[in-house]
Structure 1
Amino acid sequence: MTEKTNQEVVDTTALQVGDIVTGEVTKVDAKQVLVNVGYKTDGVVPISELCSVHIETASEVASEGDKLQLKVIKLEEDDLVLSKRAVDAANAWSDLHAKFNNGDIFNVVVRDVVNGGLVVDLGVRGFIPASLVEKHFVEDFSDYKGKELAVKIVELEEEKNRVILSHRAVVEAELETKKKSATESLKVGSIMEGTVQRLTDFGAFIDLGGVDGLVHISQLSHKRIEKPSDVLELGQTAKVKILAVDVENGRISLSMKDAQPGPWDTLGDEVQVGAILKGTVRRLVNFGAFVEVFPHIEGLVHVSQIANKHVKNPNEVLELGQIVQVKVLELNKAEKRISLSIKEAQEEEIQVDLGKYQPTQETTGFQLGELFGDKLKNFGK
């Protein structure tokens, strides 16, 4: 093919089918455009040869005075038929291959909405399937006609004149970039506010402003819960502490209970070593019993501290839910640990009662067992 200017093609014998010529639009009709290329008559560009996509009228893509590059597709006496579409396609493919190979993102204007997606003009027909338009489901695409979208080529087959584009891939890449940036800005140990996005059996996902973190069910509350919905609902604002950040995998571990005062944080100073407390037996294990002395605070009564006699298994003398008095042997708030003793609490109670007893002449002859009854009886057990 050779390219000729207006002046070069005044000699009609020099013009041939396949030549590329430059002409000026002299008239725009509804279904065709007339172009002066220096031939004895104006050439005709049918509407089907104006654009790679469907258009209703020629004025959508051409105006009088426009300079167009055209290909001669028919030349018979006074009949000169030209194609803008053929030139655009030939010029487009090399550019499209480069964009595809480089993964370039570029803007297009939606020229038509068809069944199954959107059509754009790239010099050749480009198609955006409905599933590749947005990250979310779109029921009606009618508002997309004339809209500019950022896209990238996901499939390219020149032999089949096939160009598949995706706007969704661009959106997802942008979100991934924002997510990574947001994740990198998070600091382990910091306290943040987020919004409950999703509840599952194993925890809750909290939106921290473009990035979601997981609060495992064990980190939702200081008290035991059966399911996340016991303490949270969708859309609720929640204060969380960042436990761990995995930038590479985009995983963020959060804790709600660490972001609020726990029972150990509010434990009063009146609780000291030597204090006598009342508690409830919550768990029995081979090595002792766990006694709840304050809401959600349990201390361990070692098996050797249950009674003044040898106890092989705690369930020999204790049962779940039983109320007992215990003495604080050790207290470590930092490690959230209390060591308790039932037998020392009983000993101290007896010592106090003995101190109150002052024998008089009237009481001479009474036995201690008659005065303290079951206290001495239980003491040796």
Structure 2
Amino acid sequence: MVDRNLLREFDVSDADLEAALGLSLADAEAAEEALIAEYNLRDAGYDVNAVLEGTIVRVEGEEVLIDIGYKSEGIVPLDEWSDTDEPPVAGQRISVLLEEIEDEFGLILLSKRKADRIREWEKIISTHKEGDIVKGEVLKKIKGGLLVNIGVNVFLPASQVDIRRPQDIDSYRGKVIECLILKIDEARRNIVVSRRRLIEVQREQMKKALLSELVEGQIRKGVVKNIADFGAFVDLGGIDGLLHITDMSWGRISHPTEMVRIDQEVEVMILHVDRD
């Protein structure tokens, strides 16, 4: 019950009171309708964050209206279609994610982009497991490593980019690389990959094959991978061999850098092979 005397004391007019009460009632009714609509969706088997199949009804300006089999049509922003996607047209079937019901108008808010990501994730999970080799493009440098797209975005830690950590991992941006899947977290939809581990596995296989071929006195080509005061380490194709400073030249040199540089291809003779 409203105390009219108290309202007059605070200078509240009858018109203001009716307007306030009317607005509160309208807000309550709108909230109730939205809640009922949400329960109706759930009763119909639709859950928020579920991926649904729908049909494009029409395109209106910057919005695409989708029929998901409910009494109200859902809306997807037109900008969720990328330049490489087929333009939306009426009658086209599409996967969408049910995000929420807009309180004021009771419209269903959908997302094509999020549904695409979930479908891509499900595809990757169904066809790959930990230990598998995958190929993808390095998209950008992020905190702690690189973001690589293999169909979904995966994380390549900086420590797993190469056997020897590069000075600037951003130089890999735009390159297509192969990696080994280290970990799949299905609950968080995260995948961690390693290029370093893949290289190590490949080098181990090459090492076994190379050891069966190497003999003392053999001439081989290799690439200088590291330089120390006492010599240079040469990658022979899976095995690093030591080229001692005393074997670099007939003359005396003060430091190996006088004769070789990193990534230089050199021709060497095999003096000794330690197979243990």
For Structure 1 versus Structure 2, the TM-score category normalised by the shorter chain is 0.5 to 0.7
State the match for 2:107 in structure 1: 79
CA RMSD of aligned residues (A): 4.8
Q: Does 1:68 align with 2:90?
A: no
Shift of residue 67, structure 1, vs aligned partner: 4.2
Would the aligned equivalents of 1:27 and 1:64 in 2 still touch at CA under 8 Å? no
State the match for 1:58 in structure 2: 80
State the match for 2:196 in structure 1: 168
Instruction: Provide the C-alpha distance between the structure 1 equivalents of 2:172 and 2:142, rounded to a whole number of angstroms.
Output: 12
State the match for 1:182 in structure 2: 210
Instruction: Provide the C-alpha distance between the structure 1 equivalents of 2:87 and 2:210, rounded to a whole number of angstroms.
Output: 52
Counterparts of residues 111-126 of structure 1 (less than 5 Å):
111-120=139-148, 125-126=153-154
Instruction: Tell me the percent identity.
Output: 27
Secondary structure of residue in 2 paired with 1:69: strand
Instruction: Provide the C-alpha distance between the structure 1 equivalents of 2:229 and 2:172, rounded to a whole number of angstroms.
Output: 40
Counterparts of residues 297-336 of structure 1 (less than 5 Å):
none
Counterparts of residues 14-53 of structure 1 (less than 5 Å):
14=44, 16-18=46-48, 20-24=51-55, 27=59, 34-39=65-70, 42-45=73-76
Provide TM-score, normalisation by structure 2. Answer: 0.55
Q: Which runs of 4+ in 1 moved over 6 A?
A: 225-228
Secondary structure of residue in 2 paired with 1:173: helix
Residue type matched to 2:52 in 1? Answer: V
Secondary structure of residue in 2 paired with 1:64: coil
Secondary structure of residue in 2 paired with 1:243: coil
Shift of residue 80, structure 1, vs aligned partner: 1.4
Shift of residue 81, structure 1, vs aligned partner: 1.9
With a CA cutoff of 8 Å and minimum separation of 6, indicate the structure with the bigger relative contact order.
2
Instruction: Provide the C-alpha distance between the structure 2 equivalents of 1:28 and 1:114, rounded to a whole number of angstroms.
Output: 37
Post-superposition CA distance 1:199-256 (Å, at most 9, x none): 5566654444554323567x849x9x998859x832595542443252xx6xxxxxxx
State the match for 1:89 in structure 2: 118
Q: 1:201 to 1:96 in 2, by over 3 A?
A: same
State the match for 2:134 in structure 1: 106
Residue type matched to 1:43 in 2? Answer: G
Would the aligned equivalents of 1:73 and 1:81 in 2 still touch at CA under 8 Å? yes
Q: Which protein has the bigger helix share?
A: 2
Would the aligned equivalents of 1:156 and 1:163 in 2 still touch at CA under 8 Å? yes
Q: 1:29 to 1:244 in 2, by over 3 A?
A: farther
Instruction: Provide the C-alpha distance between the structure 1 equivalents of 2:61 and 2:156, rounded to a whole number of angstroms.
Output: 30
Instruction: Provide the C-alpha distance between the structure 2 equivalents of 1:108 and 1:240, rounded to a whole number of angstroms.
Output: 38
Q: Does 1:148 align with 2:176?
A: yes
Shift of residue 144, structure 1, vs aligned partner: 1.7
Instruction: Provide the C-alpha distance between the structure 2 equivalents of 1:207 and 1:100, rounded to a whole number of angstroms.
Output: 31
Residue type matched to 2:81 in 1? Answer: S
Residue type matched to 1:68 in 2? Answer: I
State the match for 2:160 in structure 1: 132
Q: 1:245 to 1:184 in 2, by over 3 A?
A: farther
Q: 1:131 to 1:234 in 2, by over 3 A?
A: same
Shift of residue 137, structure 1, vs aligned partner: 1.3
Instruction: Provide the C-alpha distance between the structure 1 equivalents of 2:274 and 2:196, rounded to a whole number of angstroms.
Output: 27
Q: 1:115 to 1:24 in 2, by over 3 A?
A: farther
Would the aligned equivalents of 1:110 and 1:118 in 2 still touch at CA under 8 Å? yes
Shift of residue 104, structure 1, vs aligned partner: 0.5
- Bigger Rg over Cα: 1
Instruction: Provide the C-alpha distance between the structure 1 equivalents of 2:227 and 2:141, rounded to a whole number of angstroms.
Output: 38
Shift of residue 79, structure 1, vs aligned partner: 0.8
Secondary structure of residue in 1 paired with 2:259: coil
Shift of residue 165, structure 1, vs aligned partner: 2.2
**Structure 2: 5+ residue stretches without partners:** 1-40
Residue type matched to 2:197 in 1? Answer: A
Shift of residue 191, structure 1, vs aligned partner: 4.2
Would the aligned equivalents of 1:28 and 1:63 in 2 still touch at CA under 8 Å? no
State the match for 1:244 in structure 2: 273
Post-superposition CA distance 1:113-155 (Å, at most 9, x none): 434433345676532233333444152627625x433223223
Would the aligned equivalents of 2:216 and 2:272 in 1 still touch at CA under 8 Å? yes
Residue type matched to 1:234 in 2? Answer: V
Secondary structure of residue in 2 paired with 1:149: strand
Instruction: Provide the C-alpha distance between the structure 1 equivalents of 2:193 and 2:141, rounded to a whole number of angstroms.
Output: 14
Q: 1:43 to 1:216 in 2, by over 3 A?
A: same
Would the aligned equivalents of 1:197 and 1:206 in 2 still touch at CA under 8 Å? yes
